[in-house]
Structure 1
Amino acid sequence: MKQLCKVDEWKIIEEQIHPDQNRLAESLMSIGNGQMGMRGNFEESYSGDTHLGTYVGGVYYPDKTRVGWWKNGYPEYFAKVLNAMDFTGICVFIDEEELDLHVWKVVHFQRVLNMKHGYLQREFEAVSPEGKKISANVTRFFSIVDSSLVAIKYEVTSKNFEGNVTFQPYIDGDVRNEDANYDEDFWMPVYHHASENEAVLTMRTRKTAFDVTAAMVTEVNGNGVTNGQVTNQDEYVDHKVSAHLSENATATFYKYISVMTSRHVEKSALPDAAKERVAKASHNGFESLLKAQTEAWEERWNHADVTIQGDVSAQQGIRYNIFQLYNTYTGEDAELNIGPKGFTGEKYGGSTYWDTEAYCLPFYLSTADASVARNLLIYRHRQLGKAKENAEKLGLKGALYPMVTMNGEESHNEWEITFEEIHRNGAIAHAIWNYVNYTGDTDYLNEYGYEVLAEISKFWASRVNFNPRKGKYMMLGVTGPNEYENNVNNNWHTNRMAAWTLEYTLSVALYLENNHPKTSFELKQRLGVTEDDFDHWKDIIEKMYYPYDEQLGVFLQQDGFLDKDLIHVADLDENHLPLNQNWSWDRILRSCFIKQADVLQSLYFLNDRFSKEEKQRNFDFYEPMTVHESSLSPCVHSILASELGYEHKAYEMYLRTARLDLDNYNNDTEDGLHITSMAGSWLSIVHGFAGMRVVKGELEFSPFIPKDWDNYSFKINFRGHLLNVMVDQQATIITQEEGSLFTVNVKGEIYEVPENGKVIID
């Protein structure tokens, strides 16, 4: 593990510059506002190892794939989240020497990500090759009040000389993706304008034709301010402004940026719209904008914070993850989703994986307005047509939702994942159930949900095959959640979720028939669903094959799992880990080692379907063989360990998911943060330690507290009730901050929670 940052409840603090681990630090210091974001790059030039990355939500490029394109049904492209124009850049010169912390001697350095108030601050002292010493203090933030705005304050103080400081703020549209398959330039110029103290640049994506405009306005406070050269080129605009520094004097530079896209504004109107927005921001001033940012983040934390007393490391981890989730997705734009790297890197390309439904939806269900989770589901409904096309390409019926997508079309290019990891369909169906079960919003079913469920069910019914010798339906040639096994037969989780989806779809069909008969009839007609389909689905449910070993009493991950050498991870030489960085892919696929929860994923999703004894036997069998090399793995294990009373294991897995990036557990955070797994730390506390479930519309808790914690608390929104749940070593206290009298089940006992009151449970 590479822990670069100091442990602090509300801040991520890097206390020295790390040239050899700068990419890791840049990932950790990433910041955004749900519409756009960037890595923690320096504003000034840096000639050392760096990954400059700025990303704008919903703007992508279909990069032609290098492999598989000649195969029928194979995606022709891999969707790329685009590295957008660099609009925060500011070259800084002391007389004729350009500031570069890779070249200058760094005397002092501190970089702080303030999570409570949503800004990144950096201060340093450095000496130039000619001996001129400066101190600097730099603050930037991506506004959550106006999500088009970014503001930067850059202070430079002379420590031992008299001379000039020159600021050269720029917008650079000539950027590249590091992961471009053919080293293509994804952008082309559209419009540019530059003058003293302001500039505008519009770039357009090739193929997809998204326009992105950035407008900047700058200001300098200092002595002897003079304007210099202006650069106005197709893909690059800048201007220079200088101030005179006497010894110990300070010059303060402000850069305000507005970034707007053709997703929301007509292309022809973009430059004027961005200029108008940024002019208003500069008029209001940096301190006013920062004050509004601070207040808005405090209000957000009032509804989403999780507090932990007695464990600062755990506290920092959960807050960091919540902070980055809200930097990535806020729910206001139903066309956006939650990418695995968010706005922190290019790896994994697409904006949507099954991670959203499986891991992120529960977090937003409980911490935000119900409309946010509803938008995540509507996003999938809007892409139903493309999902049907994906199934048709494989010669199947219904809808196969993509493994990776920007617009609903499959854009992943590994066959064993793209077309075999079909359990994602089950995660989307489960998310519909989860949303309706939590919110009680049954209208969603007749408006959107049933249509998605019916098409997914058609897919499952066409994907299974009947084995007459065994009298069972089987699912051949699949990859389960454990991607360290490919092209297996009868992955237990896939089979289980397929049958469950059919069962849930039938129950929704019955609900609609009884409660919305007209809608039910119209949907059946439009979707072409018949009673024969229903009978076939019932037959599959009854006769689905589930691999099982009687002697061990466990559900088998797939038909041949027990043919492997069953070795525990604890018996491996630590030098072999992580396996995906030390073993050949062939060796991994033949091993028993599990990347992430597979059988246990179903035990979490369909928790009430299994006895405690079944959960315990399967957990005890599979967890020791799990290497947790997927960021999605630890939280599921933490939740199940909590339920089983394995408190030490629950805490171990919580800490791993909470600090996965902060401690760089899997040695891969330099590529960007693991955004979609960050919800797992919240799940580990709320679904795990607190044991929260919703059963038949009733809220249930079964809490425990790690032995070294003094207490923990969290807030949830549930059907018009805003609750604060606090658990300490003696009691559980549930306080209602909004809502009327209602009941809650705690460890099997029913308690009334009064309006604006609380209940204390020993």
Structure 2
Amino acid sequence: MNQDYIIPAPWAILEEGFEKEHVKSSESLFSIGNGAMGQRANFEEDYSGKTFQGSYIGGVYYPDKTRVGWWKNGYPEYFAKVLNAPSWIGIKVVVDGESLDLNTVKSVKDFRRELNMKEGWLGRSFEAELQNGTKLKVESKRFLSLEHDELGAINYEVTPLNRDVSISYEPYLDSGITNEDTNWDDKFWNTLSVEEQENKAFITAHTMKTLFHVCTAMSNTFTVDGKEISLTLKTNKSETYIGHVYETDIREGETFAIQKYAGYITSLNHDKDSLKNAANAVLDIALNKSFRNLLNKQKEDWADIWSMADIVIDGDVKAQQGIRFNIFQLNQTYLGKDARLNIGPKGFTGEKYGGSTYWDTEAYCLPFYMATKDQEVARNLLTYRYQHLDKAIENAQKLGFKDGAALYPMVTMNGEECHNEWEITFEEIHRNGAMIFAISNYVRYTGDYSYIPEKGLEVIIAVARFWKQRATWSDKKEQYVILGVTGPNEYENNVNNNFYTNYLAKWCLKYASEQVKKVAKDYNSDYKRIADKTSVSTEELNMWLEVSEKMYLPFSEENDIYLQQDGFLDKELVTVADLDKAERPINQKWSWDRILRSPYIKQADTLQGFYVFEDHFTEEELKKHFDFYEPFTVHESSLSPCVHAIQAAKLGQMDQAYEFYLRTSRLDLDDYNKEVHEGLHITSMAGTWMSVVEGFGGMRIKNDMLSFDPKMPSAWDGFSFKLNFRGQILKVSVSKGKHTFSLDKGSDLTLLLNGKEIRVVAGQTTEA
């Protein structure tokens, strides 16, 4: 049974009632971030129960030495770990000598937690009775500022309900933290200084090996019943900790509040010798603006994001909550301000997968950012990979490739491969093609071809060289084959001729040849610069085309379908419907050996090819492949249900499409894979957006125009979304029997609706 304690609400994630077994899951679900830093929803006050403490800084990592049973040539030396950063949210609360700790109090009632997605803050309230008999009402609210992305703010209030009390607050900073995820239990942080200046405190530390310098800083103000008061402080200090203790007497019914301002100043953005000064300036901004004013600006900034990114679903609150949760977390993770950063699979919500960049960005996230931000944000994501091209060439050289061939990493922080499971690192090479598909997808959607001659062509050439060298001529088949790979479906390792990989390689080689010729013809100076650098030649283009044209694609004449890989039909083809539910998820119940021999598909694989290259296949072919492979798919990858939702909608199989949509949009909220305590599935959340816009909205680019073929789940009364298409902001609304289009920005626009041209006039609403 999936978890069901999250209360459906259109604009909030809500939890009511305190259950200790929910704490770690809620710490993930209620996480907050601002694109530069983020944190799990750990309690501000002490909690001695089971918890997963986590606060993270974008771009700050540690190269944790690879741990394997035996070394293989080409193995990465480290796995990049996103680091649990020095903690700043903590506030020890002591009432008449007893610590407030929800694990040890006599009772808790009216516990409520809210992640307000509309306004961008996390709130919590409860009443507790301490062992000493004191009853308290506690309310807290915190957020990470979008405007000042080095700053977080907390307002924490305690009201005694049954007696006058003495209350002590000890807001603190702590760099003596550890990672939940570590290979060797290394020390990740070295604390350089613990300092204070009046009511401010600073801990400066650096990461081991990578030497990122971080100043964690705090300052605090206080109110009683909303009126500011001044308190003297005492200091608790050690080599890795500083706490400022403030104590006062509070009458029954009075509310004693602390406003804590804190955050991270890093050497990514400041000179490492001036971090404390920069931190001081950030704290002064907070102290001058006040919690209320900072929160009001936070609400405005989130309103701006939602004005473009929101998807409205009428008549289905769980579906509405799901899509907004996905959009909210994507924006908390990445806002496109810094081309050095990217979108980790867990974002700022956990440490699994190392917090690094995967192919998810190019295959799933780029469309969301292209359509809901401006195209510069999408360009930054492409530029991230361009900046890593030299490292990708090095990665390929380590595996024996030459002549400028590039293999982009499966997992990376700085362009180096840092994933150390051999069947992924060496074999899941389809990720290389995702880099080129993303460039093609960007040009198709934005119309901005200039990226290719400026930066993209060098990446395209290097990846084409990889595919040319990775393919093997088979005398038996008289075609080129690609041996020993793992496709997107990681439940098949070391297989030959994975359909998706082979088809992607075939397309990449042809596309690369076409782009080299186009740049040579239309962008002569760029071509000369690139040709001088890469020595690309007509002879090489001809070799690429030969491999492309003669690429082997496994096919079953009997079933009239492309095979997932050469040996797929040799398996015992028992469908998921005939699999005992007690055996699910198989990745937690079965041995790896049993999984690899099974027909079960972790995520869309052959169907991934039909999604990426939809225009290459007929709808009849899609249906035949969907009907064959879907019954074997267990969707134990977060990246799977969205593709199936889009394809089921295209095929008019709306009950299935809706079921897949709920699975992708509520994957974490309902904890389908029973792992939400480890963090959220951030990158797949972009797939949820795609399942609405491309699935139910039927959005495509056809004949260089936006095209829509809308279909609506029976559970919905209507839905709407916006797209930034080439600088024009189009709003699309779908209801039963009616579709409306309007332009929030831009001149008149011609688009396709169910294959027919319609004209959307600026300033008017067009119905069809």
- Asked if TM exceeds 0.5, the reply is yes
Matched, 1:414 2:415: no
Matched, 1:631 2:632: no
Per-residue CA shift, 1:648-687, capped at 9, x if unaligned? 1111000100000000011011100000001111100001
* Residue of structure 2 in register with 1:222 after alignment: 224
Q: Which runs of 5+ in 1 are unaligned?
A: none
Per-residue CA shift, 1:128-170, capped at 9, x if unaligned? 1111010011000000111111000011001011121110000
Matched, 1:130 2:114: no
* Residue of structure 1 in register with 2:102 after alignment: 101
* Residue of structure 1 in register with 2:190 after alignment: 188
Query: How many Å apart are 1:65 and its aligned residue?
Result: 1.0
* Residue of structure 2 in register with 1:58 after alignment: 59
2: CA distance between counterparts of 1:141 and 1:184? Answer: 31
* Residue of structure 2 in register with 1:76 after alignment: 77
2: CA distance between counterparts of 1:474 and 1:18? Answer: 55
* Residue of structure 2 in register with 1:40 after alignment: 41
State the AA in 2 paired with 1:468: D
Matched, 1:365 2:354: no
SS of corresponding position for 1:110: strand
Per-residue CA shift, 1:157-207, capped at 9, x if unaligned? 010111211100001001111111111110001222125521011110000
* Residue of structure 2 in register with 1:179 after alignment: 181
SS of corresponding position for 2:232: strand
State the AA in 2 paired with 1:335: R
* Residue of structure 1 in register with 2:238 after alignment: 233
1: CA distance between counterparts of 2:72 and 2:478? Answer: 33
- Percent identical pairs in the alignment equals 51
Whether the 8 Å contact between 1:481 and 1:596 is mirrored in structure 2 is yes
SS of corresponding position for 2:352: coil
* Residue of structure 2 in register with 1:483 after alignment: 490
Farther-moved stretch of structure 1 (630-639 vs 748-757): 748-757
Q: 1:120 aligns with which of 98, 119, 122?
A: 122
2: CA distance between counterparts of 1:674 and 1:747? Answer: 33
Matched, 1:583 2:586: no
Per-residue CA shift, 1:424-454, capped at 9, x if unaligned? 0111110000001101111100011110000
* Residue of structure 1 in register with 2:753 after alignment: 746
State the AA in 2 paired with 1:38: Q
RMSD between superposed Cα atoms in Å: 1.1
Whether the 8 Å contact between 2:18 and 2:109 is mirrored in structure 1 is no
State the AA in 1 paired with 2:247: S
SS of corresponding position for 1:256: strand
* Residue of structure 2 in register with 1:557 after alignment: 564
SS of corresponding position for 2:354: coil
SS of corresponding position for 2:353: coil
2: CA distance between counterparts of 1:390 and 1:269? Answer: 36
* Residue of structure 2 in register with 1:303 after alignment: 308
Query: How many Å apart are 1:243 and its aligned residue?
Result: 2.2
State the AA in 1 paired with 2:687: G
* Residue of structure 2 in register with 1:323 after alignment: 328
Query: How many Å apart are 1:537 and its aligned residue?
Result: 0.5
Per-residue CA shift, 1:263-307, capped at 9, x if unaligned? 010001111101111112111100000000011101110010000
Query: How many Å apart are 1:83 and its aligned residue?
Result: 0.5
Q: How many corresponding residue pairs?
A: 761
2: CA distance between counterparts of 1:264 and 1:328? Answer: 18
Per-residue CA shift, 1:108-131, capped at 9, x if unaligned? 210100000000000010011111
Query: How many Å apart are 1:520 and its aligned residue?
Result: 1.5
Farther-moved stretch of structure 1 (49-58 vs 249-258): 249-258
2: CA distance between counterparts of 1:675 and 1:353? Answer: 12
State the AA in 2 paired with 1:710: D
Whether the 8 Å contact between 2:129 and 2:136 is mirrored in structure 1 is yes
1: CA distance between counterparts of 2:730 and 2:670? Answer: 32
Matched, 1:600 2:601: no
1: CA distance between counterparts of 2:668 and 2:171? Answer: 32
* Residue of structure 2 in register with 1:654 after alignment: 661
SS of corresponding position for 2:184: coil
Whether the 8 Å contact between 2:17 and 2:109 is mirrored in structure 1 is no
Matched, 1:610 2:612: no
Matched, 1:266 2:280: no
2: CA distance between counterparts of 1:96 and 1:253? Answer: 18
Query: How many Å apart are 1:234 and its aligned residue?
Result: 2.9
Whether the 8 Å contact between 2:347 and 2:355 is mirrored in structure 1 is no
2: CA distance between counterparts of 1:279 and 1:662? Answer: 38
Query: How many Å apart are 1:490 and its aligned residue?
Result: 0.3
Query: How many Å apart are 1:77 and its aligned residue?
Result: 0.6
Matches within 5 A, 1:426-437: 426-437=433-444
Q: Which runs of 5+ in 2 are unaligned?
A: none
Query: How many Å apart are 1:246 and its aligned residue?
Result: 1.0
Farther-moved stretch of structure 1 (144-153 vs 690-699): 690-699
Whether the 8 Å contact between 2:410 and 2:425 is mirrored in structure 1 is yes
Query: How many Å apart are 1:72 and its aligned residue?
Result: 1.2
1: CA distance between counterparts of 2:237 and 2:18? Answer: 34
Per-residue CA shift, 1:451-489, capped at 9, x if unaligned? 000000000001011012221000000000000000000
2: CA distance between counterparts of 1:753 and 1:306? Answer: 20
Whether the 8 Å contact between 1:692 and 1:702 is mirrored in structure 2 is yes
Query: How many Å apart are 1:68 and its aligned residue?
Result: 5.7
2: CA distance between counterparts of 1:521 and 1:610? Answer: 37
2: CA distance between counterparts of 1:281 and 1:22? Answer: 30
Query: How many Å apart are 1:107 and its aligned residue?
Result: 2.1
Per-residue CA shift, 1:380-418, capped at 9, x if unaligned? 000001100110011013000000000000000100011
Matches within 5 A, 1:360-759: 360-397=365-402, 398-759=405-766
* Residue of structure 1 in register with 2:294 after alignment: 289
Whether the 8 Å contact between 1:194 and 1:239 is mirrored in structure 2 is no
Query: How many Å apart are 1:521 and its aligned residue?
Result: 2.7
Per-residue CA shift, 1:214-252, capped at 9, x if unaligned? 211101113986424213433211110112111111111
Whether the 8 Å contact between 2:717 and 2:736 is mirrored in structure 1 is yes
Whether the 8 Å contact between 1:196 and 1:239 is mirrored in structure 2 is no
Query: How many Å apart are 1:708 and its aligned residue?
Result: 1.8
1: CA distance between counterparts of 2:270 and 2:494? Answer: 45
* Residue of structure 2 in register with 1:152 after alignment: 154
1: CA distance between counterparts of 2:110 and 2:718? Answer: 37
Whether the 8 Å contact between 2:696 and 2:712 is mirrored in structure 1 is yes
Whether the 8 Å contact between 1:152 and 1:254 is mirrored in structure 2 is yes
Q: 2:352 aligns with which of 347, 351, 361?
A: 347
Matched, 1:49 2:54: no
Per-residue CA shift, 1:498-557, capped at 9, x if unaligned? 010111111111211221123213212211212221111111111000000011111100
Whether the 8 Å contact between 1:737 and 1:757 is mirrored in structure 2 is no
2: CA distance between counterparts of 1:514 and 1:760? Answer: 43
Structure 1 residue runs of 4 or more that deviate by more than 3 Å after TM superposition: 223-226
* Residue of structure 1 in register with 2:168 after alignment: 166
Whether the 8 Å contact between 1:740 and 1:755 is mirrored in structure 2 is yes
SS of corresponding position for 1:265: coil
Whether the 8 Å contact between 1:480 and 1:598 is mirrored in structure 2 is yes
SS of corresponding position for 2:154: strand
Query: How many Å apart are 1:63 and its aligned residue?
Result: 0.2
Whether the 8 Å contact between 1:196 and 1:227 is mirrored in structure 2 is no
* Residue of structure 2 in register with 1:4 after alignment: 5
1: CA distance between counterparts of 2:527 and 2:384? Answer: 23
2: CA distance between counterparts of 1:256 and 1:674? Answer: 29
Query: How many Å apart are 1:16 and its aligned residue?
Result: 1.1
State the AA in 2 paired with 1:357: E
State the AA in 1 paired with 2:10: E
Pair 1:68–1:333, CA change in 2 (3 A): farther
* Residue of structure 2 in register with 1:198 after alignment: 200
SS of corresponding position for 1:348: helix
1: CA distance between counterparts of 2:476 and 2:636? Answer: 38
SS of corresponding position for 2:418: coil
